[in-house]
């Protein structure tokens, strides 16, 4: 662990008794678990300045607003009592540094990643309902969309960028099919306003804490975006496999999806599947790449 990162944690944890690498294999960030007599924290250092800025903004500005709006309060260094909905927590920002290496110090929350966990059925559905309630609270945070780029133009630019990155990975015919599918969704986006989004909202980023709380983590992709952008991976993944999980999530969210939102999800998921394949190939994640190809085949694009 680099000395600059350890020094950032020392005032919070005291003399460290354990320093453990807890990073994902993809290498986009370093995550360290640092324990001492005063606290246990996560130190997260980002390679990309954009991801650091997004995660810092989410932890510093968005999540305290959610907690304050619902009456939540900090629980020492451990985290918030709850954020956005009863029974939901997030880590709490304890320190950060904007100089290289850019890093955040967050309260550490023990828990099992919900993706792959095997809670009882009643608990499983309850966790999805709470996940939906948290997301609705996040989406409903006041936000003035002053971005001069309409969402239709933003998604067109993303499509162009991922199409370029796909060269040599995805056959041109498949990319052409994706481009055609997404192009049909773009006109409807011009009238949409951005809301605050997590943008990687899946059970891979939800923990089940020892006390049964749902803990939402990993906000490095968080930024204002199209509302249904937060539902695309769920729509293509666990909702397809288990409709009861969708029903529970949307019960927490507080409403069903409209026919227009369903169609937008179907078309924009083509872009999500393409980006999954390309990103996974770039990072050597074969299982994630298989997931992307399966999505393209289900959409009839590959």
Q: Encoding tokens for residue 65?
A: 């607003």
Report the pLDDT value the prediction gives residue 79, as an integer from 0 to 100: 54
Residue range(s) in the chain whose domain bears CATH number 3.30.200: 3-109
Hey, what CATH class is 3-109 in? alpha beta
Contacts of 50 (CB under 8 A, 6+ apart): none
**Distance between CA atoms of 292 and 15, rounded to whole angstroms?**
44
User: For 63-121, how does the pLDDT look when each residue is reduced to its tens digit (9 = 90+)?
Assistant: 988 886 544 444 434 455 678 888 999 999 999 999 999 999 999 989 999 998 889 99
**Distance between CA atoms of 216 and 209, rounded to whole angstroms?**
10
**Distance between CA atoms of 269 and 177, rounded to whole angstroms?**
12
Helix/strand/coil for 131: helix
* Nearest CA-CA partner of 81 in 69, 68, 72: 72
Which string of DSSP letters, residue by residue, matches 80-108? ES-SSSTTEE---EEEEE-SSSPEEEEE-
> pTM of the prediction?
0.92
Which CATH code is given to the segment(s) 121-298? 3.90.1200.10
Q: Are 55 and 92 in contact (CB under 8 A)?
A: no
Report the pLDDT value the prediction gives residue 69, as an integer from 0 to 100: 56
Residue range(s) in the chain whose domain bears CATH number 3.90.1200.10: 121-298
Q: Encoding tokens for residue 294?
A: 């399966």
**Distance between CA atoms of 183 and 177, rounded to whole angstroms?**
10
- Mean pLDDT rounded to a whole number for the chain: 92
Report the pLDDT value the prediction gives residue 77, as an integer from 0 to 100: 43
* Nearest CA-CA partner of 271 in 165, 158, 172, 169: 158
* Nearest CA-CA partner of 70 in 81, 78, 79: 81
pLDDT band at 59 (very low <50, low <70, confident <90, very high): very high
**Distance between CA atoms of 143 and 152, rounded to whole angstroms?**
19
Q: Encoding tokens for residue 148?
A: 């001069």
């Amino acid at each position: 662990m680099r000395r600059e990162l350890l020094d950032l944690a020392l005032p919070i944890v005291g003399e460290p008794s354990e320093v453990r690498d807890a990073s994902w294999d993809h290498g986009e960030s370093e995550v360290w678990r640092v324990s001492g007599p005063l606290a246990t924290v996560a130190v997260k250092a980002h390679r990309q300045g954009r991801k650091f800025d997004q995660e810092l903004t989410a932890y510093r500005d968005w999540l305290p607003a959610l907690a304050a709006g619902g009456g939540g309060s900090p629980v020492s260094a451990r985290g918030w009592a709850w954020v956005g909905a009863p029974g939901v927590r997030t880590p709490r920002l304890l320190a950060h540094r904007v100089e290289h290496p850019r890093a955040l110090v967050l309260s550490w929350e023990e828990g099992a990643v919900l993706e792959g966990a095997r809670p009882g059925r009643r608990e499983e559905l309850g966790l999805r309902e709470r996940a939906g309630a948290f997301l609705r609270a996040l989406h409903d945070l006041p936000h003035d969309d002053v971005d001069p780029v309409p969402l239709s133009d933003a998604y067109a630019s993303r499509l162009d960028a991922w199409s370029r990155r796909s060269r040599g990975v995805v056959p041109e015919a498949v990319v052409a099919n994706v481009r055609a599918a997404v192009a049909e969704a773009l006109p409807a986006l011009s009238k949409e306003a951005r809301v605050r989004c997590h943008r990687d909202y899946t059970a891979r980023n939800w923990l089940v804490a020892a006390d049964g709380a749902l803990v939402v983590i990993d906000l490095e992709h968080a930024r204002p975006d199209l509302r249904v952008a937060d539902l695309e991976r769920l729509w293509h993944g666990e909702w397809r496999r288990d409709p009861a999980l969708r029903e529970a999530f949307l019960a927490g969210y507080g409403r069903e999806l409209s026919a227009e939102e369903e169609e937008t999800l179907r078309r924009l998921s083509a872009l999500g599947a393409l980006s999954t394949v390309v990103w996974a190939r770039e990072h050597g994640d074969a299982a994630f790449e298989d997931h992307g190809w399966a999505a393209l085949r289900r959409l009839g694009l590959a």
